[in-house]
Structure 1
Amino acid sequence: MEPQESAIQYSQWNNSQDEVSMNVLTPESSGCERVYKKLCTRKLGIAMKVVGGIVLFWVIFVIGYITGYYIHKCK
């Protein structure tokens, strides 16, 4: 008999702590889960987080600039 391939990984860190992780691939994965895995993991995920951080910085900067302009506007 040939051994069957499995997606179960077992690792033992020390005598008191064991870790078992299972990767289950199901065709019923939701659309949100597929989008998350595509956009938020690996190199593309890192790039998305960097771009999101830059965009968030500029949005906050512009809101602060506009708010400061109207607060300190001379009458």
Structure 2
Amino acid sequence: MEAPESRVHYSRWEDNSQDEVSVAAVSSTEASGCKAVFRKLCTGKLGIAVKVLGGVALFWAIFILGYVTGYYVHKCK
């Protein structure tokens, strides 16, 4: 039987007198499910397709945002 993975969260308050550390156990099924989705979407031919489509979508989003911004900045009165 494998030990469950643990997630450690450390947050520091503004004054150095209080530090908070919390540890949460991650079930192996949750971790393996995330890894399976990652492997499926980020590797191989499907991973390349997802990255290309994400890049194209990001390009068009930035292009449209720049176009609209430029339109309003350079708009004649």
TM bucket, shorter chain: 0.5 to 0.7
Q: How many residues align?
A: 48
Structure 2 unaligned runs (5+)?
A: 1-27
Percent identity of equivalent pairs: 65
Q: Based on CA coordinates, which of the two structures has the bigger radius of gyration?
A: 1
What TM-score do the two structures reach when normalised by structure 2?
Answer: 0.58
Q: Distance in 1 between matches of 2:35 and 2:74?
A: 47
- Please give the secondary structure, in 1, of the residue aligned with 2:71: helix
1:71 positional shift: 0.1
Q: Distance in 2 between matches of 1:46 and 1:59?
A: 20
Which consecutive segments of 4 or more residues in structure 1 shift more than 3 A? Answer: none
2:64 matched to which residue of 1? 62
Instruction: Work out which structure has the larger RCO, using CA pairs closer than 8 Å and 6 or more positions apart in sequence.
Output: 2
Q: Tell me whether 1:34 sits opposite 2:21 in the alignment.
A: no
2:12 matched to which residue of 1? none
1:33 positional shift: 1.5
Structure 1 unaligned runs (5+)?
A: 1-27
Between Structure 1 and Structure 2, the one with more helix by share is 2
Q: Distance in 1 between matches of 2:37 and 2:60?
A: 26
- Please give the secondary structure, in 2, of the residue aligned with 1:68: helix
Partner amino acid for 2:55? G
Tell me the C-alpha RMSD between the 2 structures.
1.1
Partner amino acid for 2:51? K
